[in-house]
Amino acid sequence: MSNFRVFSTKCVTFLRKTFINSSSITLRRSLSQKSHHTYSIPENRNRLTKLLTQICGGCIACGLSAYCLKDRKFITNKFIVNALEPSDDNIPRMPYSFLADIVDMTQPAVVYIEVNIRNPYGHGVVKSHGSGFIVREDGLVLTNAHVISRQSVVEVKLQDGRVVKGQVQAVDSVTDLATVKIDEKNLPVLKLGKSSASRPGEFVLAMGSPLTLNNSVTHGIISTVNRGSQELGMGVRDMEYIQTDAVITKGNSGGPLVNMKGEAIGINTLNVMAGISFAIPSDRAAEFLRKAEELEKRAANKGWFGMGSKAVTTRQNRYIGITMFTLSPEFLSDLQARVPNFPQHITSGVLVPTVIHGSPAHRAGIQPGDVIVRINDKDIKSSAEVYKILETSESLIVQVYRHNQKFQLTITPDTID
């Protein structure tokens, strides 16, 4: 008899003895106490319930132990004494690897995007990066507008290791979406799902290249499918976002948020804090792609062109290159409780989750995670106030908090023709 059988048999014997002794003691106590006391009907009922609970627990324990002894598919018949022993290939992995199957099906269409940007602090260039995914077999890639950082040419790395030049075709800075065209054929395509059919609680995978780590995957659930831009304090944008707890970090932007059918239901956009990330719904992306295709047919524009620019510019076409979230009292309280070194004494402001490389804000020294509390001697309570000041000011003297340190920075907006 193997060591495992001896051990399991002893467990069963112990459980049986424990069950019998416990039941006998309870019964004896009940009979003994009954001879001295008169119990009401509810008290007798409670004592009987406890006795039956112990009997049922003992039966379940014995049954589980016997099942483990009988069925060797789930529990090995011996103790593991050497980690180098061959694994049991008869144990099926299929029920536990459905996420891996979805990754195998969708990841070939995910690409890594690298952008070379003139160094705002000196000579040479700096590299920015992000993700995207192929939406047409002739080489059309969908990504975020902020990933391409207002460049016209980028480098695209495919899953098979090839690195090719990509031409930026269409940019919509309102929805923060862009397309890049690469000169390749017969490429794997990731289908866009219907984001409006998604429900809170569904499992999702966030795919991309966080921190330049290619082919990375995180998973989570959909927290909500229609988090409004007004609710997030992004007053200029009329948008709704998919909120998820799947980790979306720097470099994941532009990659797909994939459902369990292997469809992209969102485009990863930004992370606010641990457990709170946002993606652009695929329904909005599908609308953008239709408009981009019409634009592509009408003109072969090889530079930066936009189909709307309120997100990064004002009515006077001033551009600073950040995204902002208004710090509502509830949101601010949550950040102060959950984020280490978040400034505890501020009562209002806007959080900057994303700064576009090479933008005026980036050149001025604004960093992701900064909190803007004051501009041009005016206290800031919402992102709408920032846009309003930008309309009338050619220079912004910005007071920000970075962790618990206060900085004063000067941003000179760019003007886009």
**41-70 helix and 3-36 helix, angle to the nearest 10 degrees:** 170
**Which tokens hold the place of 214?**
């290619």
The radius of gyration computed from the CA coordinates of the chain, to the nearest angstrom, equals: 30
Q: Which of 172, 176, 283, 370 is catalytic?
A: 176
Q: Which of 129, 131, 146, 370 is catalytic?
A: 146
Distance, CA of 402 to CA of 366 (rounded, Å): 9
Distance, CA of 375 to CA of 100 (rounded, Å): 48
Active site residue 146: yes
Q: Which of 195, 209, 253, 309 is catalytic?
A: 253
Q: CA distances (Å), 264 to each of 22, 111, 176, 315, in order? A: 57, 14, 17, 33
Determine the Cα angle at 108 with ends 195 and 357, to 5°: 75
- Three-state secondary structure readout of the chain: CCHHHHHHHHHHHHHHHHHHHHHHHHHHHHHHHHHHCCCCHHHHHHHHHHHHHHHHHHHHHHHHHHHHHHCCCCCCCCCCCCCCCCCCCCCCCHHHCHHHHHHHHHHHHEEEEEEEEECCCCCCEEEEEEEEEEEECCCEEEEEHHHHCCCCEEEEECCCCCEEEEEEEEEECCCCEEEEEECCCCCCCCCECCHHHCCCCCEEEEEECHHHCCCEEEEEEEEEEEEECCCCCCCCCCCEEEEECCCCCCCCCCCEEECCCCCEEEEEEEEEECCEEEEEEHHHHHHHHHHHHHHHHHCCCCCCCECCCCCCCCCCCEECCEEEEECCHHHHHHHHHHCCCCCCCCCCCEEEEEECCCCHHHHHCCCCCCEEEEECCEECCCHHHHHHHHHHCCCEEEEEEECCEEEEEEECCEECC
Residue located via tokens 């459902």: 259
Active site residue 176: yes
Distance, CA of 275 to CA of 267 (rounded, Å): 17
Active site residues: 146, 176, 253
